[in-house]
Structure 1
Amino acid sequence: MLRVAIVGASGYIGGELLRLLHGHPRVTVVAATSDRLAGRRVDGPHPNLRGHTDLCFVGHDAVEDAGADVLLLAAPHRETMGRMAGYLTLAGTVIDLSGDFRLRDPGTYAAYYGVPHTAPHLIPGFTTGLPEWHRAELAAADRISVPGCMATAGILAVRPMAEAGLIEGPVQVDARTGSSGSGASGGPAAAHAERSGALRVFAPSRHRHEAEIAQATGHTVRMTATGVEAVRGVQVVCHAKLAPGASERDVRAAFHAAYADEPFVRVVARRQGLYRLPEPKILTGSNHCDVGFAVFADDGTVVLVGALDNLVKGGAGGAVQCLNVRFGWPERTGLEFPGLHPN
């Protein structure tokens, strides 16, 4: 059994890692860290795990004695980079879910995160944790950086078009996310009285995930992000100009060529029915990302849509999928749950 330690296990992503890895047949969790909750059972903040585990949190320092083969880091942005050199000495493989090693250019990181990168020399050693586009590299990677939730949806929706040369110019991304995207300590803005019924544009421009989508697609990206009343779920609606001569048939062919054999990406672009385009509601708890499109030939534009569960495919599930790729296991291992309907 592969020995895995989760650093920062008390938050929503940490809880999803615990849930998914509890059902993973090739993994045992040897440590789940939280300085604040050290000594307490993990099924306190994660009550869905009651009756499934007797694991207790340990302090962050205790991970040094856990003998882990893999570290999964669910620690905060801006803090992880300062501790990364130490983390890399504790396990052969490190999978980071913070934003600190997603961007290849330290200057871009500083522009979007508001602080200088304190470990730029470590950035080149990380592989992007998106198997659909980096599977070969991930199979041999010991340092993996999982993309952000809205970035994952945006990249999976836009990149087939970019790779096929079917769009030109900038891409406008309109992203919507549920309240769990703010984390377990989201502050006053996440309170029910403030969040319920709201459609809050919390990032009218320059959300940090726009830099990840631009990096992955080679296109200038302008992104807005809106908080919606859902707890889980991300949906991105991306507008782009079609390249001269590109048709709807070309668009459909590009999507199917990119994702025909992918276990977790489904192309959803139908002309009728309740779920004609990707809808995060039916993806709750699953590691799927649905992508789709609508072509408007009269003005030469295309709308690209991506949807996922931000805590699973957009976070913990993406990390577990990377873990499976890295160790040569079937990618669906521990990730078989198909989502709920109705929900």
Structure 2
Amino acid sequence: MTYFSKEYEKFLAEHFVYDAWQFVLNVQKNVVTAGYCCHVIDSLISKMEQEHKEWQDNINHEVSQQFSKTGAAEVGISYDNLPQFKMDMFGITVDYPFLIDKYVKDFFQYLRNALDAMAQVINSALLANNSGNIEKVDYNKIITVLKRDQQLQVFTKSLDVLERIQSSSEFNYLTEFNNKIKHISDAKMIMSRELFGDGITNEIGAFFKKGNQFSSVDIQTITKSVYDYISNEIILLFDAITEDIKLDAFIEGRIHKLQYYWQMVKDDPRNSFNVIFTEVNNSIDELNDVISILFVKTAEEDISSLNCDYEDILVRDKDENYVGRFILDEVITDDGLFHYRKYKKDTSDGHIAFIEQANKKYPIKPLLMDGKIVRVGFNQEEEDQ
């Protein structure tokens, strides 16, 4: 299965962990951006080498011409006629080394972002109803969580891959590099060219972090090796996560669809109302004490989703009697993310719950909900409008 695809998006919806899809897309974005940074680094270094070689060729040509004419040659070299390694970016002159420094740091940060986004995928797709606060989730934290007694014997496939990545030299390097430049000091980029020889140095300087000595390394070598390793391991981690998702652990009480009933009585707003509900056969006790709702609707190849922000949800039985309700059990904030909203079972009488909700006049979401609209007292022309 291709993980950045409509097929995988549908798979997540079918297993009631659709909120994980937004984090899957974030993984993809960060890996692709890290790959772009890697390409830019290679191109800039190649451009520097090309310009230096052209400068050497010009010097050699000048020396050769003088020697052929006089039998001797003399060339004056000043700073102004050395290779400048600069380019124009939207009217700003920028040094190649500056750009390389920037893109190296961006590269490691985006790859680390991708790994932390994988932790968010696991938090939402595997832990589901037991998921932690997304603001406190990162790669190392999710490993700690999966090792807890409740999850230790459940998601073994994902945990094995997570720990393998965590113990790798590539993960260790990118993690400590990021920590160093964020919390301690800048990283040293060592870039030099022999004036007339072939010697070239493009290195990230040595540093010491958490008891580990990291030696100077060639920029292109380390970025390529880290990118190849992490991007490949992310796919293997998706393989494991996908198998663990099929266990359908911790998704009890999740709902993707609600229904509505809308009665419109002409010239009688007091008897016009609409209500939002979920259906049971006979009793509200058929549902869990806590339900989690995210609107998700699949239409052919497209999936539409929307957060459920109603304060309460009615429960209606097969005979169209309202037998209870669920009350929103969390604070709604607008963070731009999809959430399975938690609703707690309420002990209110169904008829009272119905009257209270009908007075709230909730908006319906016809593209994501099924329902019935009853119009009373309207003529045919009005019905068609």
Compute the TM-score of the two structures, normalised by the length of structure 1.
0.22
Q: Higher Cα Rg: structure 1 or 2? A: 2
Higher share in helix: 2
Q: Which has the higher contact order (CA 8 A, sep 6+)?
A: 1
TM-score, normalization by structure 2: 0.20
